[in-house]
Structure 1
Amino acid sequence: MKENAAKHYSVPWPVSDDFSDYPTILGVGTATASQKYTQHEVVELFGIEDQRKRAIFTNSAINERGLTLPEQAEHVETQAELIAKHKRQAVTMGAEALKNCLDKIGATIDDIEFLCCVTSTGFLAPGVSALICQHLSIPINCQRLDVVGMGCHAGLNGLNAVSRWSKDNPEKLAILLCVEVCSAAYVMDETIQSTVVNSLFGDGSSAAALMRSKDSELVYAKPKIKKFSSFLLPNSLDVMKYSWDDEHGKFSFYLSKDVPYLIGRQIETIVGKLLDELPVKQSEIDHWIIHSGGKKVIDSIKINLGLSPYDVRHTSSVLGDYGNVSSGSFLFSLERLLAEGVIKSGDKGVMITMGPGVTIESAYIEF
């Protein structure tokens, strides 16, 4: 492999016509912070007068976001206060999303045998999975996994782990829970960089219930997960990162303006690698479930894959209604697709997430 070649890892499962061989997403539930703000309200709340900075908010294609902000806008939260907010809101939103998911599939807390929690907006030990288990009285022998700090692409990394557990444990219920309190990762200062970050992200949580089951009625016309693929862009570790900021005494997120173009340049190759070894062409994909990374990211993917506005309708509408809710964004889009009533048995789909690294994760699903 050439030194500058992108690293790509593709992990297919044995192809079979028997859907019971594949884990199925039985249902999805979501939740956001109870406080909602329009972009105009955020601009006014923080007294942003610079016209360039105001335009970053108003041109973001975001209408409203759930955010957990201090009662006094001028109060600068310490890192300790941000961690406490992350812990408090992760449990609140996570529990709501999980219960919403269980209600949709007619399951109960006692049915959960595996729980994977994904987050990047705060480090805790015990982690979010233990806190959620205690808060909801999930059985004490429930197996758990915490995926921490991977970023916006981590939802598919977590789904990969949950899918493999489900494949090895048929007829048992597994849960993927993504919880991102993005307002606990904000830095308030006068820079354009912070303005871009603060205009984009929202607080949200999403949960997916998985099972490998032979019950055809249970899994009919629901996503069967058939293949995962990972792609690490070369020489891109510093263009999107979350690291300690000495000046502010807290962690802060850096997002380069080049990210949409880096992703767009590689996305066709990435989808090609995902579908490689499968009897499926890109033109045969019926549904696209893509991370709501931002207007420019969505446009770049859409243009480079030749997708229509209809193809990315849920990705765009989730961005507009919630902002970028990081690792769980793609499940917000999947929830809308499942509720839409357009899916037919045998339909094909691709899920795509992207985040720090720059890493792009993808998965192939069939309904």
Structure 2
Amino acid sequence: MSSNTKTDTEETTSSSTSKESKKRLPDFSQSVKLKYVKLGYHYLMSHLVTLCLLPLMSVILIQASHMKAQDIQELWAHLQYNLLSVIAISAIFALGSTLYIMTRPTSIYLLDFSCYRPPNHLTVHFQKFIHHSTLTGDFLPSSLDFQRKILLRSGLGEETYLPEAMHSIPPRPSMAAAREEAEQVMFGALDNLFANTRVKPKDIGILVVNCSLFNPTPSLSAMIVNKYKLRGNVKSFNLGGMGCSAGVIAIDLAKDMLQVHRNTYAVVVSTENITQNWYFGNNKAMLIPNCLFRVGGAAILLSNKSSDKRRAKYKLLHVVRTHKGADDKAFRCVYQEQDDAGKTGVSLSKDLMAIAGGALKTNITTLGPLVLPISEQLLFFLTLVVKKLFNAKMKPYIPDFKLAFDHFCIHAGGRAVIDELEKNLQLLPLHVEASRMTLHRFGNTSSSSIWYELAYTEAKGRMKKGNRVWQIAFGSGFKCNSAVWEALRHVNPSPKSPWEDCIHKYPVEIIA
């Protein structure tokens, strides 16, 4: 009896399970169908012009094949009688072509870049970080606990670096120590860059250096001119106080300069200085940068010489900059100030992520039409029209940027920043891998983080000819800036890459 009951129960369960699976199956197949429908739509819209021109070209070829020799002779005679018209049209065409060639923007090529890899003795483990913070005597027990929690949740690993001055007990945040950190980072990256590219410092016509919090006199750019004995007419610029997105701003400035000064090289150096900007107080909003920011820097060599295209790694396609500084909340969300005890630090607002999201939305609204395929632009436009006309309570269409870019270099500002962009842009874990691994291995290196991420992609052997890269960074002000590059060849990592001896360990699992 019990056996029969059991069998009946199993049959009932099996029957209900099969019914449920049948119910689920249409949903799954429907999603698969929708996926292929969208891919078909994207292909159709991307090749619409070609598909429309094919029938027209066929008709022209058929008509041409049926033309008789007499028809061709009549056409030639007609052209001879209208010789002046032909000459005028040819002259206008030649003049227009010449003007176009002379006024079109000069192509900007990235020959190579180099990221600074600090020596191993500057590594800071979590336990060492908390131990040294305790020994300073400046932090309350609650502040130490707060920093410990931030470190564990930050996404940073145990092999990031702090400058020499912060390893001393007590720390020695002097001007001399800050200059020493700047020299080690900038000269380390530049030495490797010049060695890899074999470009002589004397050939550099433009120099742009960005460092937000350390601006000595003479400037950092002057330190580089002095070290490498750059020529006297070099166009040098020193950008300060512009935050973590200043690396893209520096690229934009170098690009504009290369449009004016032909047949030359530009070097961009992006870095940050920690030595004199460590916070020794107990304001929690100012303690977060202590836990996230680490030593790092990058040097980038750009050229406007057409002859350099053959050996260049990338071509610069677009730079889009967004500034939300007119809004008071955005202006103060990353703010350097003194706390109640008179100690200087950088305060991070609770509204930071919301403000970053707004800046991102504005930035991609400008960037989208430049990079997205027509299929995505049409979907976005139609959704906007329906929403406006019918006041529909529908979510705005988020374009699929995966159709425009092959690789994403999202500023490794912190785990929350990467999570937010992964969610909002509907990216896959692979697309944010470079950002997460850079944060884990090197921490937040400010404006240079996007270059460590690009170096990671190269080290993994993922950069193929024709691939497009989107570098996106956020910074105080508040700013969101984007740079788009196209790979001109299959790119291999350059010698002395920051990932050279550790890329085989990555990706690693980040514990939540």
* Residues 250-274 of structure 1 deviation map (CA, whole Å, 9 limit, x = unaligned): x421112331233235524422321
TM-score, with length taken from structure 2? 0.63
| Separation of aligned partners in 2, 1:104 and 1:274 | 33
> In the aligned structure 1, how far is the partner of 2:155 from the partner of 2:249?
27
Amino acid at match of 2:347: Y
Structure 1 range deviating more: 256-265 or 342-351: 256-265
The 1:366–1:248 alpha-carbon spacing in structure 2 relative to 1, beyond 3 Å, is: same
Q: In the TM superposition, what are the counterparts of 1:255-274 in structure 2 within 5 Å?
A: 255-274=348-367
Q: Give the Cα–Cα distance (whole angstroms) in 1 for the partners of residues 110 and 361 of structure 2.
A: 26
Match of 2:341? 247
Residue matched to 2:322: 231
The aligned counterpart of 2:91 is none
Q: Determine the structure 2 residue equivalent to 1:73.
A: 169
CA 107–191 in structure 1, closer or farther in 2 if over 3 Å, else same: same
**Identity of matched residues, %:** 22
| Larger mean Cα displacement after TM superposition, 183-192 or 296-305 | 183-192
Equivalences for residues 1-367 of structure 1 within 5 A: 21-34=106-119, 35-47=122-134, 50=142, 51-63=145-157, 64-68=159-163, 69-70=165-166, 72-75=168-171, 77=173, 81=174, 83-215=175-307, 216-219=309-312, 222-233=313-324, 234-235=327-328, 236-244=330-338, 247-248=341-342, 251-278=344-371, 280=373, 282=401, 283-367=403-487
Counterpart secondary structure, 1:189: coil
Structure 2 distance, partners of 1:210, 1:76, is 37
Q: 1:301 to 1:71 in 2, by over 3 A?
A: closer
Q: Note the C-alpha offset of 1:95.
A: 0.6
Q: CA deviation at 1:56?
A: 1.0
Given that 1:291 and 1:353 are in contact with CA atoms closer than 8 Å, whether structure 2 keeps it comes out as yes
Alpha-carbon distance, 1:20 to partner:
9.1
CA contact (8 A) 2:281 2:341 kept: no
Aligned residue for 2:8? none
Whether the 8 Å contact between 1:293 and 1:326 is mirrored in structure 2 is yes
- In structure 2, the residue corresponding to 1:351 is in which secondary structure? strand
**CA deviations over 1:272-324 (Å, ceiling 9, x no partner):** 32132456452221111221111001111111111122112111111111111
Checking the alignment, whether the CA contact within 8 Å between 2:181 and 2:275 is kept in structure 1 is no
Instruction: Tell me which structure has the larger Cα radius of gyration.
Output: 2
Count of aligned positions? 344
Q: CA deviation at 1:360?
A: 0.6
Query: What are the superposed Cα offsets for residues 130-175 of structure 1, whole Å, 9 maximum, x if unpaired?
Result: 1111122233332211111111111111110111222333442110
Q: What does the per-residue CA deviation read over 1:53-83, in whole Å, with 9 as the maximum and x for residues that have no partner?
A: 3111122111132212345434574xxx2x3
Return the structure number with greater helix share: 2
Gaps of 5+ in 2: 1-99, 377-400, 488-512
Query: Do the aligned partners of residues 279 and 305 (structure 1) sit closer, same or farther apart at CA in structure 2, a change above 3 Å counting?
Result: closer
Change (3 A) 1:157 1:149: same
Q: Secondary structure at the match of 2:116?
A: strand
**Any conservation in 2 of the 1:289–1:350 contact (CA below 8 Å)?**
yes
Which structure shows the higher strand fraction?
1
SS in 2 for 1:310: helix
Relative contact order (alpha carbons < 8 A, sep ≥ 6): 1 or 2 greater?
A: 1
Q: Name structure 1 gaps, 5 residues minimum.
A: 1-14
CA contact (8 A) 1:91 1:135 kept: no
Q: Are 2:359 and 2:480, in contact at CA under 8 Å, matched by a contact in 1?
A: no
Bigger drift between 41-50 and 183-192 goes to: 41-50
- Please say which of residues 309-318 and 163-172 is displaced more in the overlay: 163-172
Q: Structure 1, residues 206-226: CA drift from partner, whole Å, max 9, x if none?
A: 11100123234223xx32112
Q: Are residues 186 and 340 of structure 1, via their aligned partners in 2, closer, same or farther at CA, if it must alter by over 3 Å?
A: same
Shift in CA distance, 28/194, structure 1 to aligned 2, threshold 3 Å: same
Secondary structure at the counterpart of residue 46 of structure 1: helix
Q: CA RMSD in A?
A: 2.5
CA distance in 2, matches of 1:212, 1:241: 37
| More displaced 10-residue stretch of structure 1: 113-122 or 163-172 | 163-172
Q: Aligned partners of 2:417 and 2:231: how far apart in 1?
A: 41
Is contact 1:46–1:74 with CA below 8 Å preserved after alignment?
A: no
2:316 aligned counterpart, secondary structure:
strand
> Which amino acid is 1:210 matched to?
L
Over 3 Å counting, the alpha-carbon distance change for 1:115 and 1:87 in structure 2 is same
> TM-score, structure 1 length as denominator?
0.86
Distance 1:61 1:265 in 2: 24
Q: 1:99 to 1:293 in 2, by over 3 A?
A: same
Residue range with higher mean Cα deviation, 289-298 or 135-144: 135-144
The 1-side partners of 2:149 and 2:417 are apart by 18
